[in-house]
């Protein structure tokens, strides 16, 4: 082997250190998606010369233009080349010195919702394309909805064909604001906007001189730098056993891929469903033993004790177990020509387990263009709905929003063997089974009866020109909840509304002053907040509550106390790094040093709302704009008439 | 064979990777491929691994060793031999299989030796000696799942291939009727006589494969490395004179420093003019040359979309 220059060795070393970003692309037929991908591949120099010349050959038959038709680089199958449409998910690859990229290129055609779901299922990020000239179409919203349904953490709206609108900033801003509102309703955590022209190359790989008003990143810069380190769940250890390795009588290894969390040598583990416990003796592989394994590693573990473990079982930590359910609810994408059949027994595959199950009920279907709910019944091809299922054996699952690996399943038709549905498990249980419970000390059956007020709600609404509602701002410390809540109060007051702000400070200093931060203390604190809000609502006021409230289960119970029809959940969302950086209270450093416990995001999990009424992204949206979004929400839901 | 080229850089990377609890792209690809192989072995009765002697096969076998360590490979390797492979490939194959202790099945079509691309044309020759022979071998062995080293990046029609590619009882692929494949939940249900082809390297690129060979120090056929060879230049392709190749009028053998990017049958596999003598050289070269891998295969160019046509008939 010959000597290589230092730079070559450095290059190889750097190349081995690259990480991986999987993203999906979706767009309507004329949004220029294939052109965009062709442009990314071409400008990042991932397209080889002979592929370009074969495309030149193919485009010549179609048109005389010598310009390369980038779309032909990506449209693979003969059939679709003839029909001029992309008909199936296609995977493309390219890399830059920083990252390797896998693109799931999904067709935008109406009947191919299933392909879009397929592409989104493994994506860290979704690029949704919109034609600047045509503006946001129903399909754009559908793409964003499916991406959010499949739990894609980052969405980029690429406003394409800016060249056709004269690179006009106002066109971009109008599309941005319309989409922001919609994305807020979807509860997507991270949305970015980039004005581009795929055809001319503006802001795709290189910065455009024709849009000096845009100072953000190019699409490729964004793809290279978007932070994906927290996309894997490192908290809840789940190790589904895939295969038992038995080379001889002495060795029994359980092979599998770590679905989430960290498994360490010496850990006490619980085997589901047998509930037997043992310790991890070793984590073994071809390259030697490991001290620990984390997702998405494929590895094998041996246990101290000889206990019976087989494929389909799951190793977990005793203090952090998944739910064990035979009956569960899920969002379902139906992917078969034959509609969902209630009488039929289907197979499902969940982690490494295959079992029989049936559908008990379709609670509702979702109109993917308007997000409106439609009556259930059954589901047809490319429909999305919420279902209740019962399985013949218990499954060990987490909500999909928390754990993609243990929250997802596919449905298989027992006759055709086709994959006919994709399910995402939702956490929903009767509130008396919830682990963190708000205890109701006094209830009507103890002899206390609520007297009816002589003032009717409609009288109060007529007097004050508003309907009572509780807006619940949840989010990390430092995300900006309280600032926004008081901003909304000020704006509402100016427009003549009557309102009240409840926040951690004014409650903890008074009404809840004796309560601590234990699980019971937090539950009781929120119960008092909820009851206060309810009383103020009954007096006709609009109540703005700003509380970290990291536990989804407790928020659900607060909503129950206040009354679900007058409760709006508002997620004030910002990355923890950002919150921590602007924290002046010193709470984060105290939490980091362990001085404070139960601190959301540091030593206590923050469970983001699955389906909030609005998401306020304080990193990219200034607080005045956030306030306006809340006022718009109040107007749209009929609580207060003035727009923000 | 390349010398041990694992420098201190590698050790350092792996160390820092562990601390940050994130995995590099190669380790993620490796984990995905191992997961796929274990799923197949757990859910199918009679899996087999197609072994073509090339670099992708070498990587696939290494991943299989990792997937089932410390057990031996739970399936045999199957080489569909056209009889037109290069001498170095046969030598390498036999040594490699012996060294790792794998079971090898070699299958040749009954007409091998009688059919040649010169009389039948490349399409037909390939259809008989590769596609038909493969289907025969799978039928003979009653295999219900066959691993192949194909990658989606290689060719446009492969970009839409599933990891589990379903085949009917005639081994045929229907691009319009593929099962949706979400997350890593692979649907393994097939009827009797139906089978699947499995592509554990689906998401790997040619560069990933070489990078992994470099990192893991995996042995590959020395034909990938440059040396002086006797060749003829025909229709823009550099054809090595490794077997009895009938010369056309006016063709003159010449000596050239060249190597192979893909290994196929000697009448149809072109070499590339290259001085790359090691894995690191090859990677360096890949960063500068801009010709895609399969362009040195004569057969792919025969007609627009020819790979797709072959695949519908049962080719890998």
| Whether residues A290 and A261 fall in one domain | yes
pLDDT tens, A450-465?
A: 556 788 888 888 888 8
More confident residue, A90 or B43: B43
Q: Is the pLDDT of residue B260 over 50?
A: yes
In a domain, A352, yes or no: yes
Q: Is the pLDDT of residue A199 over 70?
A: yes
CB distance B13–A19 less than 8 Å? no
Reduced to 3 states (helix: H, G, I; strand: E, B; else coil), residue B202 is coil
- Rounded-to-integer distance, Cα A457 and Cα A453, Å: 9
Residue B290: pLDDT band (50, 70, 90) is low
Partner residue facing B42 (CB), from A19, A229, A243: A243
More confident residue, B267 or A219: A219
In a domain, A439, yes or no: no
Partner residue facing A16 (CB), from B26, B72, B184: B26
| Whether residues A592 and A482 fall in one domain | yes
Best of A99, A252, A286 to disrupt the B interface (most B CBs within 10 Å) is A286
| Whether residues A550 and A597 fall in one domain | yes
| Whether residues A337 and A313 fall in one domain | no
Residue A201 corresponds to which tokens in the numbers above?
A: 């190359």
Partner residue facing A17 (CB), from B13, B28, B38: B13
Q: What is the mean pLDDT of residues A308-317?
A: 96
Query: Count of CB atoms within 10 A of residue B249's CB?
Result: 4
The minimum CA-CA distance between B118 and chain A, rounded to whole Å, is 25
More confident residue, B185 or B289: B185
Residue B293: pLDDT band (50, 70, 90) is low
Cα B201 to chain centroid distance, Å, stands at 10
Which of A261, A289, A317 marks a domain boundary? A317
**What domain range is A256 assigned to?**
238-317
Residues 6+ apart with CB under 8 A from A122: A22, A104, B182, B183, B184
Residue in B closest to A114 by C-alpha:
B180
The minimum CA-CA distance between A188 and chain B, rounded to whole Å, is 20
- Report whether the peptide linkage leading into residue A302 is cis, meaning its omega lies within 30 degrees of zero: no
CB distance A4–B280 less than 8 Å? yes
CB distance A243–B281 less than 8 Å? no
| Whether residues A403 and A362 fall in one domain | yes
| Whether residues A93 and A129 fall in one domain | yes
Q: Is the pLDDT of residue B223 over 90?
A: yes
In a domain, A3, yes or no: no
pLDDT at position A5: 55
Q: Which residues of A touch B35 (CB under 8 A)?
A: 242, 257, 296, 298
pLDDT at position A462: 85
pLDDT at position A67: 52
Residue A8: pLDDT band (50, 70, 90) is low
Residue B307: pLDDT band (50, 70, 90) is low
Partner residue facing A118 (CB), from B156, B182, B281: B182
Residue in B closest to A10 by C-alpha:
B9
Question: Is residue A158 within 8 Å of residue A196, measured between CB atoms?
Answer: yes
User: Would you give the DSSP letter of residue A22?
Assistant: E
Residue B304: pLDDT band (50, 70, 90) is very low
Residues 6+ apart with CB under 8 A from B111: B128, B129
Which class for B170: exposed (0-12), middle (13-18), buried (19 or more C-beta within 10 A)? exposed
Residue in B closest to A410 by C-alpha:
B185
Q: Which residues of A touch B185 (CB under 8 A)?
A: 349-350, 408-410
Question: Is residue A284 within 8 Å of residue A253, measured between CB atoms?
Answer: yes
| Whether residues A114 and A173 fall in one domain | yes
CATH code at A414?
2.40.30.10
Inform me whether the C-beta atom of residue B39 falls under 8 Å from chain A C-beta atoms: yes
pLDDT at position A448: 46
Residue A46: pLDDT band (50, 70, 90) is low
- The closest alpha carbon to A195, from A234, A169, A174, A224, belongs to A169
The residue written with tokens 């691009």 in the block is: B175
pLDDT at position B30: 97
Which of A212, A231, A250 marks a domain boundary? A231
Q: Is the pLDDT of residue A515 over 80?
A: yes
Q: Is the pLDDT of residue B295 over 90?
A: no
pLDDT tens, A177-194?
A: 999 888 887 877 789 999
CB distance A18–B187 less than 8 Å? no
First to last CA, chain A: 70
Inform me whether the C-beta atom of residue B178 falls under 8 Å from chain A C-beta atoms: yes
Residue A333: pLDDT band (50, 70, 90) is very high
pLDDT at position A440: 45
Q: What is the mean pLDDT of residues A562-588?
A: 89
Residue in A closest to B279 by C-alpha:
A1
Partner residue facing B178 (CB), from A12, A15, A88: A88
pLDDT at position A90: 84
pLDDT tens, A466-514?
A: 999 999 999 999 999 999 999 999 999 999 999 999 998 888 888 888 8
Best of A12, A71, A261 to disrupt the B interface (most B CBs within 10 Å) is A12
pLDDT at position A341: 93
pLDDT at position B1: 37
Q: Which residues of A touch B275 (CB under 8 A)?
A: none
| Whether residues A404 and A507 fall in one domain | no
DSSP characters over A198-252? TTTTBTTTB--TT-TT--S--HHHHHHH---TTSS--SS-EEE--EEEEEETTEE
Length of chain A measured in residues: 644
pLDDT tens, A227-273?
A: 887 778 888 999 999 999 999 988 999 999 999 999 999 999 999 99
Q: Is the pLDDT of residue A427 over 80?
A: no
Q: Which residues of A touch B30 (CB under 8 A)?
A: 298
Q: Half-sphere exposure (CA, 13 Å, Cβ side) for B116? A: 11
pLDDT at position A224: 92
* Mean pLDDT taken over chain A: 85
Contacts 24+ apart (CB under 8 A), A616-620: A616/A184, A616/A480, A616/A484, A616/A570, A616/A571, A616/A572, A616/A573, A617/A190, A617/A191, A617/A573, A617/A574, A618/A479, A618/A480, A618/A484, A618/A572, A618/A573, A618/A574, A619/A574, A619/A575, A619/A578, A620/A191, A620/A192
More confident residue, A571 or B178: A571
- Rounded-to-integer distance, Cα A94 and Cα B92, Å: 32
Which of A182, A197, A231 marks a domain boundary? A231
| Whether residues A114 and A202 fall in one domain | yes
pLDDT tens, A602-637?
A: 888 898 888 888 999 999 889 899 999 999 999 988
pLDDT at position A66: 40
CB distance B160–A76 less than 8 Å? yes
| Whether residues A557 and A607 fall in one domain | yes
pLDDT at position A505: 80
Count of domains observed in chain A: 4
In a domain, A445, yes or no: no
Reduced to 3 states (helix: H, G, I; strand: E, B; else coil), residue B230 is strand
In a domain, A425, yes or no: yes
Among A58-72, B164-178, B195-209, B233-247, which range has the highest average pLDDT? B195-209
pLDDT at position A372: 81
The minimum CA-CA distance between A380 and chain B, rounded to whole Å, is 16
In a domain, A4, yes or no: no
In a domain, A1, yes or no: no
Which class for B233: exposed (0-12), middle (13-18), buried (19 or more C-beta within 10 A)? middle
More confident residue, A211 or B308: A211
| Whether residues A283 and A381 fall in one domain | no
Least confident of A324-328, A512-516, B38-42: A512-516
| Whether residues A296 and A203 fall in one domain | no
- Rounded-to-integer distance, Cα A188 and Cα A370, Å: 16
Q: Which residues of B touch A58 (CB under 8 A)?
A: 304
Inform me whether the C-beta atom of residue B306 falls under 8 Å from chain A C-beta atoms: no
- The closest alpha carbon to A424, from A140, A145, A230, belongs to A145
The minimum CA-CA distance between A509 and chain B, rounded to whole Å, is 41
């Amino acid at each position: 082997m010959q000597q290589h220059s230092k730079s070559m060795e450095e290059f190889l070393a750097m190349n081995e250190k690259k990480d991986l970003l999987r993203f999906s692309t979706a767009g309507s037929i004329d949004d220029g998606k294939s052109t965009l991908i062709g442009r990314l591949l071409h400008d990042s120099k991932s397209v080889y010369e002979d592929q370009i010349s074969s495309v030149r050959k193919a485009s010549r038959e179609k048109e005389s233009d010598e310009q390369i038709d980038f779309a032909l680089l990506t449209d693979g199958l003969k059939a679709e080349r003839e029909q001029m449409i992309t008909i199936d998910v296609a995977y493309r690859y390219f890399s830059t010195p920083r990252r390797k990229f896998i693109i799931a290129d999904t067709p935008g055609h109406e009947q191919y919702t299933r392909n879009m779901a397929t592409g989104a299922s493994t994506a860290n990020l979704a690029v949704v394309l919109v034609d600047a000239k045509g503006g946001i179409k129903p399909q754009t919203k559908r793409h964003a909805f499916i991406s959010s349904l499949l739990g894609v953490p980052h969405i980029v709206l690429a406003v394409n064909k800016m060249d056709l609108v004269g690179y006009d900033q106002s066109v971009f801003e109008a599309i941005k604001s319309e989409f922001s509102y919609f994305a807020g309703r979807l509860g997507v955590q991270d949305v970015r906007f980039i004005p581009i022209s795929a055809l001319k190359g503006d802001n795709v790989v290189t910065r455009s001189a024709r849009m000096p008003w845009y100072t953000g990143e190019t699409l490729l810069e964004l793809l290279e730098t978007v932070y994906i380190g927290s996309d894997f769940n490192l908290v809840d250890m789940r190790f589904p056993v895939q295969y038992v390795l038995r080379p001889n009588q002495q060795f029994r290894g359980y092979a599998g891929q770590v679905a989430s969390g960290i498994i360490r040598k010496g850990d006490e583990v619980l085997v589901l469903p047998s509930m037997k416990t043992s310790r991890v003796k070793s984590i073994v592989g071809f390259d030697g033993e490991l001290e620990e394994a984390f997702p998405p590693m494929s590895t094998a573990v041996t246990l101290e004790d000889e206990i019976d473990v087989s494929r389909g079982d799951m190793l977990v930590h005793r203090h952090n177990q998944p739910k064990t359910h035979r009956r569960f609810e899920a969002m379902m994408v139906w992917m078969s020509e034959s509609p969902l059949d209630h009488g039929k027994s289907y197979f499902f595959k969940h982690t490494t387990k295959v079992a029989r199950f049936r559908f008990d009920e379709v609670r509702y279907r979702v109109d993917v263009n308007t997000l409106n709910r439609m009556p259930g019944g059954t589901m047809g091809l490319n429909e999305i709905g919420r279902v209740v299922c019962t399985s013949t054996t218990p499954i060990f699952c987490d909500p999909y929003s928390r754990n993609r690996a243990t929250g997802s399943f596919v449905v298989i038709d027992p006759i055709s063997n086709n994959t006919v549905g994709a399910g995402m498990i939702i956490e929903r249980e009767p509130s008396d089974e919830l682990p963190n419970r708000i205890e109701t000390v006094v209830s009507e059956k103890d002899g206390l009866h609520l007297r009816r007020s002589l003032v009717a709600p409609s009288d109060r609404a007529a007097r004050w020109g508003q309907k009572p509602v509780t807006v619940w701002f949840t989010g990390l410390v430092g995300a900006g909840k309280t600032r926004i809540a008081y901003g909304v109060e000020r704006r509402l007051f100016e427009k003549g509304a009557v309102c009240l702000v409840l926040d951690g400070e004014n409650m903890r200093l008074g009404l809840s002053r004796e309560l601590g931060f234990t699980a019971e203390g937090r539950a009781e604190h929120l119960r008092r907040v909820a009851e206060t809000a309810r009383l103020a609502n009954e007096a006709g006021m609009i109540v703005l509550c700003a509380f970290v409230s990291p536990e989804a289960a407790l928020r659900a119970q607060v909503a129950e106390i206040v009354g679900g029809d007058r409760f709006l959940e508002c997620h004030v969302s910002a990355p923890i790094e950002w919150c921590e950086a602007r924290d002046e209270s010193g709470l984060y450093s105290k939490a980091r040093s362990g001085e404070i416990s139960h601190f959301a995001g540091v030593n206590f999990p923050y469970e983001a709302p699955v389906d909030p009424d609005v998401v306020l992204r304080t990193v990219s949206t200034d607080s005045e704009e956030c306030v306006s979004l809340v006022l718009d929400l109040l107007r749209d839901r009929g609580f207060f008439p003035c727009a923000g | 064979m390349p010398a041990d080229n694992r420098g201190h850089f590698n050790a350092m990377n792996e160390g820092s990777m562990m601390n940050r609890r994130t995995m590099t792209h190669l380790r993620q690809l490796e984990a995905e491929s191992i997961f796929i192989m274990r799923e197949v072995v757990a859910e199918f009765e009679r899996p087999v691994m197609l072994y073509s002697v090339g670099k992708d096969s070498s990587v696939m076998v290494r991943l299989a060793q990792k997937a089932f360590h410390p057990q031996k490979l739970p399936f045999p390797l199957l080489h569909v031999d056209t009889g037109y492979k290069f001498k170095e490939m046969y030598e390498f194959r036999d040594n490699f299989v012996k060294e790792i202790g794998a079971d090898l099945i070699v299958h040749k079509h009954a007409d091998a030796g009688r059919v040649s691309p010169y009389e039948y044309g490349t399409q037909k020759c390939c259809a008989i000696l590769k596609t038909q022979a493969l289907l025969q071998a799978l039928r003979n062995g009653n295999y219900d799942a066959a691993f192949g080293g194909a990658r989606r990046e290689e060719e446009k029609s492969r970009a839409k291939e599933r990891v589990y590619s379903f085949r009917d009882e005639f081994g045929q692929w229907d691009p319009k009727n593929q099962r949706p494949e979400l997350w890593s939940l692979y649907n393994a249900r097939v009827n009797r006589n139906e089978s699947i082809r499995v592509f554990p390297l689906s998401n790997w690129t040619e560069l990933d494969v070489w990078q992994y060979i470099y990192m893991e120090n995996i042995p590959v056929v020395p034909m990938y490395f440059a040396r002086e060879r006797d060749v003829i230049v025909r229709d823009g392709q550099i054809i090595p004179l490794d077997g009895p190749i009938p010369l056309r009028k006016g063709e003159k053998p010449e000596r050239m420093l060249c190597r192979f990017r893909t290994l196929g049958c000697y009448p149809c596999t072109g070499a590339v003019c290259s001085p790359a003598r090691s894995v690191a050289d090859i990677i360096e070269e890949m960063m500068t040359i801009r010709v895609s891998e399969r362009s040195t295969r004569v057969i792919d160019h025969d007609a627009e979309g020819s790979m797709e046509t072959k695949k519908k008939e049962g080719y890998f």
